[in-house]
Structure 1
Amino acid sequence: MLRARIGLVVLASVLLAIAVPVVAAYRGVTTLVADQLDLSLVDRADTVLAAVDLDRVPLPRPDTVEQLLAPDGTARPLTPGAAALPVSDRAREVARTGQGSHQEDIEIDGTPYGLLTKARSDGRGAVTVGQTYAGVTAVDEAFLLRITWTSVAAAVGSALLSWLVLGRILRPVRRLAHAAEHITTTRDLTTPLPAAGRDEVGRLTRAFDAMVGALRRSREQQQRLVQDASHELRTPLTSVRGCAELLQRARGRLAPEDEEQILGTLVTETVALDELVRELVELATDQWTAEAPEPVDLLAAAEDSARRFRRRTGREITVTADGPVPVLARPRALQRCVDNLVGNAVKFSPDGTPVEIRVTGGRLAVRDQGPGIAPGDRQAVFERFYRAAGTQSTPGSGLGLAIVHDLVAADHGSVFATAAPSGGAEVGFRLPPAPGG
């Protein structure tokens, strides 16, 4: 669960952020307290030495015990009735020599003490001062307990707050996930998505919405293609079936000229059907998708297409150029576009009339001498299976210009259809120039 994982990361970060300063503060406070206790012990020892040198008894303190240490190592408490403090060998050495000092930590009946033995100025033994650490230990334990509970409370509060905040932050993600699950289950691409904000989740939502929109449009195009294809296929199939049934019923009783006419119709309709199926397959599979765009010489593509159509049709096809530049496109897809435009121009031009291909920069236009295209049909001619008025009897599938539109649009170009100045139509496309072209 994303929320739990992020919450654990946040909690670990909070614990680390709390632990580091807490440990550093505790160690700093402990060191400071220890230094203050040492200073207090030294000050008390100096006070006791000054009082003893003046043959006075120092004022008692509740947290300290004082005793005189003779050169022979015997101890005498300065407070009447007080128990003698233990004397170590180092303390006896200080008392015997009357020089230096010695500090150590001991426990007396389970209570920690700090002992400081300091030589008297006249060399007659030493003074030992014992300072209890019981109060300091209690304060230290209370401080440690309090800071521990404070840290735990801060960690728990941070965990709860992060859990609530993460729930709010991830709410759009959950809504988007539910919408995706609904789309996956129902295949309903019209399912509304949650509102997109301006953060990363909003960007994800907008990207997902764009993807679903593309899928929806693709499905609509596929459905329209199937519907249009079934309609277009019905006519040649009906004609082929009618001719075949007529030949089957006649069984050789038809006149030779009628049989020749029926067989010619069968061949014509079969060729049309083959062309239609081929272009439908090309349109549905987009066999040029795997091609990578690269700089392509648009003039060379036009000349290659013109050369092949001259040989195939015997028609006069000219190529002119004005500042041609390489374009960024898929080479085979671009050649298919040029071939479709030239083939379309040849089909609609009267026999014996020329076809002109003109390349200007990244623009290619093919001009024919046909009936032209009405202004209201100049965008519609690039739709699938569209036929303008008066062209229904013209051979063809009605997919050639639709294929040009799809291939050019995939390479970030645009198509156009206009009337030629001297009659006929001018149909072509524009493509972006190649970098450095």
Structure 2
Amino acid sequence: MLRAKITLVVIAAAALAMTLAAALSYRGVSDVVAEQFDRALDERAVTAVALLGVDRTPPVRPDTTEQVLSAAGAVRPLDPARAALPVPESALAVARGARASAREDITVDGAEYGVLTAALPGGGAVMVAQHYAGAERIDHAFLWRVPWTTVAATALSALLSWLALDRILRPVRRLARVTRDITTTQDLSTPLPPAGRDEIGQLTRSFTSMLAALRRSRDQQQRLVQDASHELRTPLTSVRGSAELLQRGRGRLAPEDEEQILTTLVTEAAALDTLVRELVDLATDRSTEEEPAEVDLPAAAEDAAHRHRQRTGRAITVTTRGPVPVRARPRAVRRCVDNLLSNALKFSPEDTAVTVHVEGARLFVRDRGPGIPPGERAAVFDRFYRGPRTQAVPGSGLGLAIVHDLVSADDGTVFAAAAPDGGAEVGFDLPPHSPTGR
């Protein structure tokens, strides 16, 4: 569960942070305690030297003991009730005048003392010993409290993070619940929870956009299936009727009637083959597997014009004015130019020429046909659209729809307009190619 995983991460981070803080604090506290211990020992030694200089002894303290050390090494405790301290070599050196002071740690009956030996003005030295029990007590108290404080702080962090994550992840749980419902019911119209301004809101808006795209895709697929079934029904009905006529009149039809029926079968079969091929191309768009690259529009136009001249024997010219390279899928661009030329040749009279114009990042084909009324210029790119003037012209009504889909996939736009001297201009604009990409 995401909530539990994040809580564990928070607990681990809090425990690590508090452990590091405790370790650094312990080191700082130890340094401060040691500094205070040394300062107290120095102050006690200064006091003892001053009092001994006026033949007085310092007041007795439970954690310290003092003794006078002669140059010969004789020891005289200032408190007769306390045992004499062992004398290290450094303390003897101070008593003999070889050193001004000495600092040592000694152990007496298992207890550790810090000893400071200071020289006396009249000769000899005074040894001041302070028990480490107070410093050790502070150290032990700190070490005992740190684990409990860390555990308590970690538990509090876990509780607060658990409660906070419940509120933070609530929109995610709502989104997950709605998406499960959509997966179960397949109802893409189910509304998603309201989107906030944070990252979860961005995720919700992304899901909303994805659902909208899926709804559009499903609607387009359903329309494609419905339109395709309608368009397929006409050539299939013609093929079936012609075949049944041949079957019933086998051997009894005049040769010219039989030839006409066979011609109808071949024509309708070819139309059916073209329709099926265009439907497959429109539904799958195999060109999307191709990566966009720099495309030379004049070269693409010349190549398409050459192929259509050889195929149809028609006059096709190519003109250019300030062409620029465009960024698109090369095979998709060739398919678009082929479809535009096929469409123009289909609507132009046999004795007229068709012209391909390339201007900058724009390519359009000009025909000499009946033209396109203003109200139909956007509709000609719809699937299966056949205007009133073109009902009798053979075709599937998918050529320009394929152009629209291919150009849109490359961030381009399509257009249809009236030619200045009659006919129509149909083409597309593509984004110019940039050496650094889009």
- How does the TM-score come out when normalised to structure 1? 0.88
Deviates more, 1:315-324 or 1:176-185: 176-185
Q: Give the letter aligned to residue 83 of structure 2.
A: A
> How far apart are residue 325 of structure 1 and its match?
2.6
Mapped partners of 1:261, 1:368: distance in 2: 32
- Whole-Å Cα distance in 1 between the matches of residues 305 and 194 of structure 2? 53
Following superposition, the deviation at residue 436 of structure 1 comes to: 6.5
Where does structure 1 lack aligned partners over 5 or more consecutive residues? none
Does the alignment pair 1:354 with 2:353? yes
* Alignment partner, residue 325 of structure 1: 324
Assess, with a 3 A threshold, how the Cα gap between structure 1 residues 191 and 74 changes in structure 2: closer, same or farther: same
| Equivalent residues of 1:320, 1:359 under 8 A apart | yes
CA deviation map 1:353-403 (0-9, x unaligned)? 332322222222222222222222111111111111142222111111111
Task: Name the CA distance, whole Å, in 1 between partners of 2:420 and 2:179.
Answer: 54
Summarize the alignment of residues 49-64 of structure 1 with structure 2, pairs less than 5 Å apart: 49-64=49-64
Aligned residue in 1 for 2:35? 35
Secondary structure of 1:288's aligned partner = helix
For these two proteins, the number of residue pairs brought into alignment is 435
The corresponding residue for 1:274 is 273
> Cα 1:107–1:191, aligned 2, differ >3 Å: closer, same or farther?
farther
Q: Is the 8 A contact 1:379 1:417 kept in 2?
A: yes
Q: Secondary structure at the match of 1:289?
A: helix
Q: Equivalents in 2 of 1:89, 1:325: separation in Å? A: 97
- Could you list the per-position Cα deviations for residues 211-270 of structure 1 after superposition, in whole angstroms to 9, with x for gaps in the alignment? 332233222222211111111111111111121122222221222222222112111111
Residue 305 of structure 2: aligned partner: 306
Q: Give the equivalent residue in structure 2 for 1:191.
A: 190
Structure 2 residues not aligned, in runs of 5+? none
Aligned residue in 1 for 2:217? 218
TM-score, normalised via structure 2 length: 0.87
> Equivalents in 2 of 1:340, 1:98: separation in Å?
114
CA contact (8 A) 1:415 1:429 kept: yes
Q: Is the 8 A contact 1:73 1:92 kept in 2?
A: no
Cα distance in 2, alignment partners of residues 216 and 257 from structure 1: 53
Instruction: Provide the secondary structure at the position in 1 that maps to 2:407.
Output: helix
Give me the whole-angstrom Cα distance separating, in 2, the residues matched to 1:61 and 1:133: 14
Q: What SS class does the counterpart of residue 425 from structure 2 fall into?
A: strand
Using the TM superposition, name which of 386-395 and 28-37 deviates more.
Answer: 28-37
Contact 1:320 1:358 (C-alpha < 8 Å) held by counterparts: yes
CA contact under 8 A between 2:34 and 2:135: conserved in structure 1? no
SS at match of 1:51: helix
Calculate the aligned-residue CA RMSD, in Å.
2.9
Match status 1:178 vs 2:177: yes
Structure 2 match to 1:90 = 89
Amino acid at match of 1:67: Q
2:191 aligned counterpart, secondary structure: coil
SS of aligned partner of 1:401: helix
Query: Which residue of structure 2 aligns with residue 265 of structure 1?
Result: 264
Take 1:256 and 1:392, find their aligned partners in 2: how far apart are those partners?
30
Q: Distance in 2 between matches of 1:35 and 1:11?
A: 36
Name the amino acid aligned to 1:122: G
Return closer, same or farther for 1:47/1:192 CA change in 2, 3 Å cut-off. Answer: same
Could you list the per-position Cα deviations for residues 411-435 of structure 1 after superposition, in whole angstroms to 9, with x for gaps in the alignment? 2111112222333222222222223
Contact in 2 for aligned 1:326/1:433 (Cα 8 Å): yes
Q: 1:77 & 1:184 partners in 2: Cα distance?
A: 92
Cα deviation 1:97-155 (Å, max 9, x = unaligned): 476455444455665433344454434x5443332333333233334434544444333
Structure 1 residue 322, shift from structure 2 partner: 2.7
Look up the match of 1:236: 235
Aligned residue for 1:341? 340
Say which is worse superposed, 67-76 or 313-322, in terms of deviation: 67-76
- What code does the residue aligned with 2:386 have? R
User: Partner of 2:388: helix, strand, or coil?
Assistant: coil
Moved more, 237-246 or 289-298: 289-298
> What amino acid is aligned across from residue 6 of structure 1 in structure 2?
I
Amino acid in the other structure paired with 1:36:
Q
In structure 2, relative to structure 1, the CA distance for the partners of 1:49 and 1:371 (3 Å cut) is: closer
Structure 1 position 321, deviation (Å): 2.8
Alignment of 1:130-209 (within 5 A): 130-209=129-208
Match of 1:44 in 2: 44
Distance 1:119 1:94, change over 3 A: farther
Runs of 4 or more consecutive aligned structure 1 residues displaced over 6 Å after TM superposition = none
Aligned counterparts of 1:39 and 1:363: Cα–Cα separation in 2: 90
Change in CA separation of 1:393 and 1:126 when aligned onto 2, cut-off 3 Å: same
| Per-residue Cα deviation, 1:184-219 (whole angstroms, up to 9, x for no partner) | 444333333333333333333333333332233222
